[in-house]
Structure 1
């Protein structure tokens, strides 16, 4: 793994010298799971005033509640102390600027790769997609009916959350 990752391995050595989290457990200390996008402009703990160990962070392209996210939430709720879930997509998301067909075509044209067997779950209407995903969590037969579920859109240009009421 050396060579192209030397900068990361060196940074990890420095980080490990003063590693402050060895006493944390796998439990979500604040009972929170957050589903958010993989966008590197999002600091999920920092934007909510949280610290390491407070929450379970689940990230994917577009902050979509997929089958794998539901599987992860079931584990987080029953095994890791989660009692509330925040679904948080963001503004200026590449997934909200294209359709699945657009993405398939772009990848095919630019890289010669046929991705049509994949569903990218693009988000032409972010508000509707977020509401759909909140309902998906709330109606899951695998999650407790009293699980607290909320949604908000994070503005990557201001750092503010805009709650979505259901």
Structure 2
């Protein structure tokens, strides 16, 4: 199992100063974030938050999927969430490639056909963001008291721009 030794070593160093033992698991700042899986995004850092402050849901493109809605409903009712940020980002692969291009790139890397794999590309980020924010705002199990905003994160400046 040496393939993971570097990560397990880092985990032991992390655990040596771990201070979230017994944490209640709610979002102490009342924040939930739906954002992309892109490793250039530090969801807590970009908002000045720390572990325990927010619930974070990540997926390609930062889209509000049925799974994201499930997480947001739980967050709003059970985990202290009263503000939701939907945050896609600049230079996103699913917003800057077509479905065919992504399938071709994956097929080339995998050495096998990927024409069957959906990647849910985003042709218009602002329109998709508006649609996603509306999905959250109109969900029957998300209370009207929960604030929902749509933002684009700039991976080159670290700045958020509110779109919705």
Q: TM-score, normalised by structure 2?
A: 0.93
d(CA) in 2 for partners of 1:66, 1:101:
21
Q: Which residue of structure 1 aligns with residue 133 of structure 2? A: 134
| TM-aligned CA deviation for residue 107 of structure 1 | 2.3
Q: TM-score, normalised by structure 1?
A: 0.92
Q: Which residue of structure 1 aligns with residue 147 of structure 2? A: 148
- What is the aligned length? 164
Shift in alpha-carbon separation, 1:110–1:14, aligned structure 2, 3 A: closer
| TM-aligned CA deviation for residue 26 of structure 1 | 0.6
Q: Which residue of structure 1 aligns with residue 120 of structure 2? A: 121
| SS of match in other structure, 2:28 | coil
Contact in 2 for aligned 1:27/1:81 (Cα 8 Å): yes
Q: Within 5 Å, which residues of 2 pair with 1:59-138?
A: 59-138=58-137
d(CA) in 1 for partners of 2:116, 2:66:
17
| SS of match in other structure, 1:4 | helix
| TM-aligned CA deviation for residue 116 of structure 1 | 4.5
Q: Which residue of structure 1 aligns with residue 38 of structure 2? A: 39
Q: Which residue of structure 2 aligns with residue 50 of structure 1? A: 49
Instruction: Please identify, of 60-69 and 98-107, the stretch whose mean Cα deviation from structure 2 is larger.
Output: 98-107
| TM-aligned CA deviation for residue 120 of structure 1 | 1.8
